[in-house]
Amino acid sequence: MARTSAENGYIKSAIGNAMARAGLPPDHPIAGVLDFNAKILSTGRDFYVTVQEGRSLDAQIRVMRKDARYFPQPSAHVDHRDMNKLRESFDDIVSGKTVVE
């Protein structure tokens, strides 16, 4: 079923707010995926946007953060107590290739 322009505006606004709460730029690739799957539901008084499996936008963003298609996962991990390894891997940590645990 096609959406009206008012529905599109409401969904885009809700996605923009969810992206901002998640600390993501509004032009991140997941915005398009969220928009494609978004539906507006009503409780009679309030309207809200859901996506796959009835998840809220915030919950769906948390799920998508674990998906390597949208957020490449770092390949290396460094223990936060290993100061020598932290120094050696500093550039990779800053670039996001290595994660400190």
Domain residue spans of the chain: 5-65, 74-101
d(CA 45, CA 73): 41
Q: Tell me the pairing of strands 76-78 and 98-100.
A: parallel
CA angle, residues 86, 92, 93, in degrees to nearest 5: 55
Query: What pLDDT was estimated at residue 67?
Result: 84
CA angle, residues 72, 27, 75, in degrees to nearest 5: 10
Specify whether the CB–CB gap between 15 and 30 falls below 8 A: no
Tokens of 25: 């730029």
Query: What pLDDT was estimated at residue 75?
Result: 72
Read off the pLDDT of residues 75-95 as tens digits, 9 standing for 90 and up. 788 888 988 988 888 888 887
pLDDT band at 35 (very low <50, low <70, confident <90, very high): very high
pLDDT at 96 over 80: no
pLDDT at 58 over 90: yes
